[in-house]
Chain A
Amino acid sequence: MAGRYDAIIVGGGHNGLVCAAYLAKAGRKVLVLERRHVLGGAAVTEELYPGFKFSVASYVVSLFRPHIIRELDLARHGLSMIPLECSFTPHLDGPGLVRWPELAKTRREISRLSQKDAEIYPEFSLAMTRMAYFIKNIIDRPAPDPTSLAPSEMARTLEFAKSFARLDPDLFHLHSQLLTMSAVDFLSLWFESEVLMAPMSCSGIIGTFLGVRSPGTAYVLLHHYMGEIDGAFRSWGFHKGGTGGLSLACARAAQSFGVEIRTESSVAQVLVKDGAARGVVLENGDELLSRAVFSNLDPNRTFLKLVNSSDLDPEFLHQIRRYKLRGSSGKVNLALDRFPEFTCRPGVGPHVQGDLAICPNLDYLERAYDDAKYGDFSRRPYLNIVFPSLVDPTVAPPGKHVMSIFVQYAPYHIKEGAAAWPSRRDAFGDAVIDTVAEYAPTLKESILYKQVLTPWDLEQTFGLTEGNIFQGELSLEQLMFLRPAAGYARYRTPIKDLWLCGSGAHPGGGIMGSPGELAAKTALSAGAV
């Protein structure tokens, strides 16, 4: 026992590690406790099959904030990104569609679908880039509280409002559309081809329980454009050796500042005395004391499992209970003996080195969503596939491949009940593999190993309540000053010295590092740690 800590971080996900690093960098004595044997939470690499390294859950990095990389000197600690440059949508008939890093090449591809769309594509990219600059302001700072009358808060809200007002009227209108429209309606402001809009709209639904035509999905489209503007790396990328490498870089940075990290240390409870967090109790009964506790877990787990409900105000509990976490996605990881040929565009060319999306048209995506609405996994799901082994030979033996398949929709609440997922797991995995096999018929015979993760598995393995990969739906009513609850969007919780530092806090999920960073900075500047 190393005595009392300034801060204990519950959960060694990437946000927890970032938070720890910032606190330690400021001279605080910090302990990170991770339940599993590996660090990284959902951003982990595991060798599930000899010689094959899997980014088990989170598989691409797009939003990690460049200033965090600089401030924590992550490159020196092993951060190494490989850009993911193109996006391939195979079709059952025709050559499919590839969006390349080179604009001219992309326009040639799109012109096969619509000349008009090909012409307007650059204009769309420009508009999105301009908006991404604006949204960056939102995610790089704590959310304002528009209901507060405190002068500092009013100034913050005013500053926020002014940044809107500074936009020219057309761009202002576009932002209000971006925040409220469906991905498809928003894309329809430019495009006409549903076959083009299908893969473009998909980034709006990832991790949500919404369809591409549901209002509110346009906003997440921007995430695709965020990386681009930061210049640190292109919009999407792999971490060399797997996503877990990013977490390990954060961990090494944290350790370099003196953070102590313990794995296989499951926290049973946050110690609350006189309304303030004073440390944690581990599953094994050990008590660890600290001045402050930061929870990297989702709000549901934090407040409904780690804390006694008697320590919380019923009104707050009500808000946490209704906080929506309905997980909607699963994951299938495959070790392959050889690369599966995609019939519509065979070969191991550059087109398969980016991400692949199975989403031939908008109706396909809507039908996938409809299945989920009524409590089934999609019979023909939307799939986002990457083969990290094509660009990173360190993750698989020579000639062999790692295939990561993100699957939507797989609702946590299936009609048989979430606990019935284990009995539906095989059928779910089959639906996914059958779907891919329609486009790549040789897939099935090349599978060496298969891991199927249902949302129930994501909950069991990673502690994500209801399998929600963003620790709470990214819907407008759960963002900004409402994430995770009104009045508690600033990482603070109703329990003094208990802070939130995970994706369930502003600005939300995705491998950004922002909640961890902002939680640490907020607590430090408040003198709370």
Chain B
Amino acid sequence: MSADVLVIGAGHNGLVCAGLLAKAGRKVVVLERRDILGGLCAGEEFHPGYRHTGLLLDTTGLRPWVVEALDLSRHGLTFETKWPRYFSPTDSTDLCISCAPNGGSELEAPVAQRWSAFLDFVNRVRPAVEPLLNEPPIDFASAGAREFLDLVRHGWTARRLGKRDMMELLRIPPMSVADWLREWLPSEHLCAIWSLPAVSGTWMGPRSPGSAANLLRILCTMQMPVAGGGDALVQALAASARARGVEFRTGCRVRRLRAHAGRVTGVELEGGEEIAATAVVATCDPRQTFLDLVPKRQLSDTFEARMVRFRQRGTTAPVNLALKGDVHWASEHGARAHFVRVAPHPDDIERAFDAVKYRQMSERPVLEIHIPTRGQPELAPSGGHVMCILAHFAPYHLEGGWNDDARARLGESVVAQVARFTTGLREQIAGMEVLTPADIEAQYGVSGGHIHHGEHALDQLLTRPSPEAARYATPLAGLYLGGSGAHPGGGITGAPGALAARAVLHSSGG
């Protein structure tokens, strides 16, 4: 068997990449270790009769140009027509907020004013930030004429912001998200609600410098969410790829890459089967790609050492609850909420983060929650609900290691946190799935169980994953990196997969 291009991993980036390569006429085979497509975005039945819509809850970062290039709307992709509203309870008051222009309308007057001023600022700087995430990273180091032009072009876009906004923009990335938000928002609770996505999946708390860059990136790429979540996106991507002739092989584990004379020649599967190809795009994480799949002695010691040190320690535990009936939040806002963030104060997030420094799980985890059954009741038996939770923080390297007992403790602390703000939760629970970082690694094949395929810290975002492999091509000719471990990083954007496809096409002459 052979192909022009093999794509390892059928996560959303793998599907995007495959689709775009096929669109350009390449014969593409996608190899997926699991039995279903979608990776962390795959929707699954996690309890008899109950389905979730993927482990990654936020689809607002999906790049419109990817949707367009793959013609995804023709393959069934639709978008919500309303901005997601985030409900957040505390022991005393609740908030409900969105990024819509009037998204702060339920806030008290002075807070609402500051919130809308903050969004105004974000919208002003967005034209300077967004292109950086839509294109390959600027290659500072090689400093050729093209790079210089890139730099000037980006500089010019930024310059158009005016001196004040530009200075302000330069200031933000190294800041901590808590410091940044506190400059704008006179409400600790509101700061907490927006600090949470900035540290989601990372080894950072809201006081960690550099976390502001993550929020900036999220806000500057925000679109309407995909109707049906990650699962619906996967279905559309798969349909689009199939229509262009992409072949899928599921339940198919790659044992190692085959290389000859410093060039990839194909892959060898677990069963011993070999598939030849002129190019391979690995959409699995960088550590797995370079430390497990690339044959020994194909990479320099320096590069290998960099991959060993690439920080990929997962901190997030997805927890899915199957509920027999509705959840009753203490406040009425909660009854309508699709998205809930349980993080009353930035210090609550920081304390939850403190635990992972000492290799412990948070006693009071902070939670990002999506209740997909609010929009899609068919995901649960009649009257039932599904609650998809990303619980922070649970360290990959738990003291004593992960086992059934530790997993149960984690599940209990998450349930206890939800129960703090709801009534009758425990009686409604029909089943529960708890995925520790170790489980994510074992089941989804992501090293370290890191949902972003590598820490979202400035050093690993500026050069992702290392100078030798920062622009999708890698030191091993014919091998490309196309997952969240490549620029612009994790989350559902489709950009790494699309830009990797572009790099493959470039090098093979369009």
Q: In chain A, residues 196-234, which have Cβ atoms closer than 8 Å to a Cβ of chain B?
A: 210, 213-216
Q: Please give the number of chain A residues whose Cβ is less than 8 angstroms from any Cβ of chain B in the complex.
A: 37
Instruction: Tell me the minimal C-beta distance from B132 to chain A in angstroms.
Output: 15
> Is A181 part of the contact surface with B, judged by Cβ < 8 Å?
yes
> Is A477 part of the contact surface with B, judged by Cβ < 8 Å?
yes
> Is B166 part of the contact surface with A, judged by Cβ < 8 Å?
yes
Q: Which residues of A contact B351 (CB under 8 A)?
A: 374
> Is A135 part of the contact surface with B, judged by Cβ < 8 Å?
no
Q: Is the CB of A215 within 8 A of B170?
A: no
> Is B381 part of the contact surface with A, judged by Cβ < 8 Å?
no
Q: In chain B, residues 328-371, which have Cβ atoms closer than 8 Å to a Cβ of chain A?
A: 347, 350-351, 354, 357-358
Report the Cα distance A373→B345, complex, angstroms: 13
Return the CB mask of B445-465 against A: 1 if under 8 Å, else 0. 000000000000111001100
Q: Which residues of A contact B175 (CB under 8 A)?
A: 475, 477
> Is B141 part of the contact surface with A, judged by Cβ < 8 Å?
yes
> Is B167 part of the contact surface with A, judged by Cβ < 8 Å?
yes
Return the CB mask of A453-490 against B: 1 if under 8 Å, else 0. 00000000000000000000001110001100011000
Q: Is the CB of B350 within 8 A of A373?
A: yes
Q: Is the CB of A180 within 8 A of B462?
A: yes
- Of the candidates B159, B167, B311, B357, the one whose C-beta lies within 8 Å of that of A486 is B167
- Of the candidates B171, B183, B210, B463, the one whose C-beta lies within 8 Å of that of A173 is B463
Q: In chain B, residues 92-140, which have Cβ atoms closer than 8 Å to a Cβ of chain A?
A: 140
Report the Cα distance A328→B350, complex, angstroms: 18
- Of the candidates A180, A185, A366, the one whose C-beta lies within 8 Å of that of B358 is A366
Q: Is the CB of A322 within 8 A of B183?
A: yes
Selecting from B201-209, B227-235, B401-409, the interface stretch reads: B201-209
Q: In chain A, residues 149-175, which have Cβ atoms closer than 8 Å to a Cβ of chain B?
A: 149, 164-165, 169-170, 172-173
Return the CB mask of B156-184 against A: 1 if under 8 Å, else 0. 00010001101110111011000100010
> Is B467 part of the contact surface with A, judged by Cβ < 8 Å?
yes
**CB-nearest residue of chain B to A374:** B347
Q: Is the CB of B457 within 8 A of A180?
A: yes
Q: Is the CB of A147 within 8 A of B159?
A: yes
Given the interface pairs A215-B208, A476-B174, the reply to whether A363 lies near B179 with Cβ below 8 Å is: no
Q: Is the CB of A165 within 8 A of B140?
A: yes
- Of the candidates A149, A185, A213, A477, the one whose C-beta lies within 8 Å of that of B174 is A477
Report the Cα distance A366→B170, complex, angstroms: 29
Q: Is the CB of B141 within 8 A of A172?
A: yes
> Is B143 part of the contact surface with A, judged by Cβ < 8 Å?
yes
Q: Is the CB of A370 within 8 A of B354?
A: yes
Q: Which residues of A contact B354 (CB under 8 A)?
A: 366, 370
Summed over the interface, the residue pairs from A and B with CB atoms below 8 Å come to a total of 93
> Is B508 part of the contact surface with A, judged by Cβ < 8 Å?
no
Q: Which residues of A contact B466 (CB under 8 A)?
A: 173
Q: Which residues of B contact A263 (CB under 8 A)?
A: none
What does DSSP make chain B's interface, helix, strand, loop or mixed?
Answer: helix
> Is B81 part of the contact surface with A, judged by Cβ < 8 Å?
no
Report the Cα distance A148→B208, complex, angstroms: 30
Most buried by B among A164, A173, A213, A315: A173
Q: Is the CB of A215 within 8 A of B167?
A: no
> Is B507 part of the contact surface with A, judged by Cβ < 8 Å?
no
> Is B309 part of the contact surface with A, judged by Cβ < 8 Å?
yes
> Is B382 part of the contact surface with A, judged by Cβ < 8 Å?
no
Q: In chain A, residues 303-323, which have Cβ atoms closer than 8 Å to a Cβ of chain B?
A: 315, 322
Q: Is the CB of A169 within 8 A of B467?
A: yes
Q: In chain B, residues 182-201, which have Cβ atoms closer than 8 Å to a Cβ of chain A?
A: 183
Q: Which residues of A contact B311 (CB under 8 A)?
A: 185
Q: Which residues of B contact A188 (CB under 8 A)?
A: 309
Q: Which residues of B contact A1 (CB under 8 A)?
A: none
Q: Is the CB of A487 within 8 A of B467?
A: no
Report the Cα distance A245→B367, complex, angstroms: 56
Report the Cα distance A486→B309, complex, angstroms: 35
Q: Is the CB of B140 within 8 A of A164?
A: yes
Q: Which residues of A contact B467 (CB under 8 A)?
A: 169-170, 172-173
On B, residues with C-beta under 8 Å from A are: 140-143, 159, 163-164, 166-168, 170-172, 174-175, 179, 183, 204, 207-210, 302, 309, 311, 347, 350-351, 354, 357-358, 457-459, 462-463, 466-467
Given contacts A148-B163, A475-B209, list 16 more A-B pairs with CB under 8 A.
A147-B163, A164-B140, A169-B141, A172-B141, A172-B467, A176-B459, A180-B174, A214-B207, A215-B210, A216-B174, A216-B209, A216-B210, A373-B207, A373-B350, A374-B351, A482-B167
A-B contact pairs, 19 of them (CB 8 A): A146-B170, A147-B167, A165-B140, A173-B466, A176-B459, A180-B174, A180-B459, A188-B309, A215-B208, A215-B209, A216-B209, A216-B210, A366-B354, A366-B358, A373-B347, A374-B351, A475-B209, A476-B174, A481-B170
Name the 9 nearest CB pairs between A and B, nearest first.
Answer: A486-B167, A476-B174, A180-B458, A216-B209, A215-B210, A169-B141, A180-B459, A165-B143, A477-B171
